[in-house]
Structure 1
Amino acid sequence: MVHAGRIVEDIGSPDFGRSLAGGLRSVAPYDFTVIFGYVGSARPLDLYDDFPPDRRLLHVEEYQEGPYLLDPFFLATLDLSEPGLKRLREIAPDRFYQGEYYRSYYAQTGLAEEIGYVIRVNDTLTIVVSLMRKEKRFSTAEVRALKQVWPVIDAACRKHWQNVVPADGGQSQDIAERIEDAFQRIGEGVLTARERQVVELTLRGHSADAIGSQLGISSGTVRIHRRNIYTKLRISSQGELFSVFINAMLGDVQDDPPASAARARTRRS
């Protein structure tokens, strides 16, 4: 890695993120870098990014307002899988590209591919170093080269961000609790525990078959649950369900879910 020395030299300095991005671009060219720090399900910390202002609004500010909770990279920070370089299309659910998170939020990025290093800094903080391309996917050879420099990236990032302390001291709610609280507010207690599970998996991008397999029920039963959810929430589409979810996470849920959904769509347009 040509820039490894500079990366090591800049550990602990404000130039570290820029040096890290430069080093990674020397391995495989790409367009944008963003490094988020995750502490449980708390609002992500923007540790570094090199977006132009118009792109930063979508990729950082809007992302932090709620969509991150459905991001496969964020979800990868919560599981116990091995850290390392992950391709979005490999860790995403089976219907991710047909799901509402993709259609309502991620498709707006116009990215050809996103890959990211998932790094466990300590017991509290996990970071994701995301590399984004606008025009074409990373080749097999490029991914292989990026995996080869993993030891340098992992060690340097853990050293640089080892003392990061989130504003809430790490005392964030568990994601399952936050989602349950949100849907209690949306449905005023009318959604069952099973229906909340179906909502969460649907919004993450899982198909009816995949949801049924995870919950031990048939895909037909999943579809019945979805119809019941729409009826109870007085909505008629997955798009409205996504909007209601985001408003719930923002604490902007009123007595009329469709009205909240309309406001969310207005903010995104």
Structure 2
Amino acid sequence: MRVDFASLFEVVATCLGREGMADAEAGVLFLKAMHALVRFDDVVIFAYREKERPIDLFSTFGLEDHEIFVGLYQAGPFLLDPFYHAARAGRAGVFRMRELAPDRFFSSEYYRTYYTQTKLAEEVGFFVPCPDGVTVVLSLMRRERSGVFPPGEFAVLDDAVPFVLAFVARTWPDLSLRFDALARGTRRRRHEPANAADRVWRKLNLTDREASIVELVLQGYSSESIGLTLDISTGTVKVHRRNVYRKLGISSQMQLLSIYLSNLQS
């Protein structure tokens, strides 16, 4: 695909001449800039901070897809998303999903149960760390009919990283204030954990170690990778997994995911 320089420079000129754009206006400009560079089907832009519910800044989905990619995702599955964990780790730049996914992600129950509903061939994300622990992720998605991003187009996106970093810094400089406002608007009982995942583990009476292992299992990490991540032996990981399954009265990862998601939404 040839770069549409006229459209790209039009976006740059608009950005230079505007401050304080609304989310929708900024999203449309980003969409237009990316369409000048590569081919894709959809865009979604999320802001993340710690384990808080991500803020949906912009998306191009129809009603049904919006429920899957945004509504359902914000309800809890985001906690298992490789993009979310890369955002929390402070990654910066542009990455393919398969670069960030754990070793068993594409065979995990999360992938089979939730991610396959998206019918994506590939998702590529620009990761932009912002002040106060916020990261904005601007995702470009290609459906199965479109195939993955060719190497040449991905290289163009990599060249666009400085523009995207500057665009986000100019457009969304104070997202932490929006997270703070949302937190104040959510009433919690005293001593209740502040995030959804921790509330689930407390409700299910799991220890901190069991919760850490189960989270990694659900994200798609093998027992070997979990052991390396937590600096414990693979055998110890398997013992904890068996204890969790026995405690919850289950025998499969499918049941574990079902319990996790149902408790997130209760």
- Structure 2 residue 141 is matched with structure 1 residue 132: yes
C-alpha distance 61-8 of structure 1, shift in aligned 2 (>3 A) = farther
Alignment counterpart, residue 115 of structure 2, candidates 81, 106, 117: 106
User: Quick check: 2:49–2:88 contact (8 Å CA) kept in 1?
Assistant: no
User: Quick check: 1:37–1:127 contact (8 Å CA) kept in 2?
Assistant: yes
Q: Which amino acid aligns with 2:108?
A: G
By how many angstroms is 1:207 displaced? 0.5
Whole-angstrom distance in 2 between the partners of 1:75 and 1:57: 22
Whole-angstrom distance in 1 between the partners of 2:128 and 2:217: 27
Q: Percent identity?
A: 37
C-alpha distance 221-91 of structure 1, shift in aligned 2 (>3 A) = same
Q: What's the TM-score once normalised by structure 2's chain length?
A: 0.84
Alignment counterpart, residue 27 of structure 1, candidates 37, 44, 49: 37
C-alpha distance 125-180 of structure 1, shift in aligned 2 (>3 A) = closer
Whole-angstrom distance in 1 between the partners of 2:55 and 2:198: 23
By how many angstroms is 1:176 displaced? 9.6
CA-to-partner distance for each residue in 1:136-163, whole Å, 9 max, x for gaps? 1111111110011111111012101113
Alignment counterpart, residue 228 of structure 1, candidates 240, 243, 254: 243
Name the structure 1 match of 2:27: 17
Alignment of 1:198-217 (within 5 A): 198-217=213-232
CA-to-partner distance for each residue in 1:69-117, whole Å, 9 max, x for gaps? 1111111111144x11011100111111011221111111110000100
Alignment of 1:60-209 (within 5 A): 60-81=70-91, 83-134=92-143, 135-164=146-175, 165-166=177-178, 168-169=180-181, 178-186=196-204, 189=205, 191-209=206-224
Range that drifts further, 51-60 or 9-18: 9-18
Q: Which amino acid aligns with 2:125?
A: G
- Structure 2 residue 253 is matched with structure 1 residue 238: yes
Whole-angstrom distance in 1 between the partners of 2:38 and 2:53: 30
Q: Which amino acid aligns with 2:48?
A: Y
By how many angstroms is 1:178 displaced? 4.9
Q: Which runs of 5+ in 2 are unaligned?
A: none
Q: Which runs of 5+ in 1 are unaligned?
A: 253-269
CA-to-partner distance for each residue in 1:164-207, whole Å, 9 max, x for gaps? 4325337599x996534321201xx3x33322221011011101
Structure 2 counterpart SS, 1:94: coil
User: Quick check: 1:7–1:16 contact (8 Å CA) kept in 2?
Assistant: no
Q: Which amino acid aligns with 2:26?
A: F
Whole-angstrom distance in 2 between the partners of 1:113 and 1:23: 19
User: Quick check: 1:212–1:219 contact (8 Å CA) kept in 2?
Assistant: yes
- Give the aligned CA root-mean-square deviation in angstroms: 2.3
User: Quick check: 1:7–1:156 contact (8 Å CA) kept in 2?
Assistant: no
Whole-angstrom distance in 1 between the partners of 2:93 and 2:197: 27
Q: Which amino acid aligns with 2:160?
A: V
CA-to-partner distance for each residue in 1:16-40, whole Å, 9 max, x for gaps? 2112112112211000000011122
Alignment counterpart, residue 6 of structure 1, candidates 2, 5, 11: 11
Whole-angstrom distance in 2 between the partners of 1:38 and 1:4: 29
Q: Which amino acid aligns with 1:108?
A: Q
User: Quick check: 1:46–1:60 contact (8 Å CA) kept in 2?
Assistant: yes
Whole-angstrom distance in 2 between the partners of 1:55 and 1:195: 34
Q: Which amino acid aligns with 1:163?
A: D
C-alpha distance 112-248 of structure 1, shift in aligned 2 (>3 A) = same
Whole-angstrom distance in 1 between the partners of 2:61 and 2:198: 33
C-alpha distance 170-41 of structure 1, shift in aligned 2 (>3 A) = farther
Name the structure 2 match of 1:256: none
Structure 1 counterpart SS, 2:47: strand
CA-to-partner distance for each residue in 1:219-262, whole Å, 9 max, x for gaps? 23322322221110112211121122223333x2xxxxxxxxxx
User: Quick check: 1:40–1:170 contact (8 Å CA) kept in 2?
Assistant: no
Residue-pair matches, total: 246
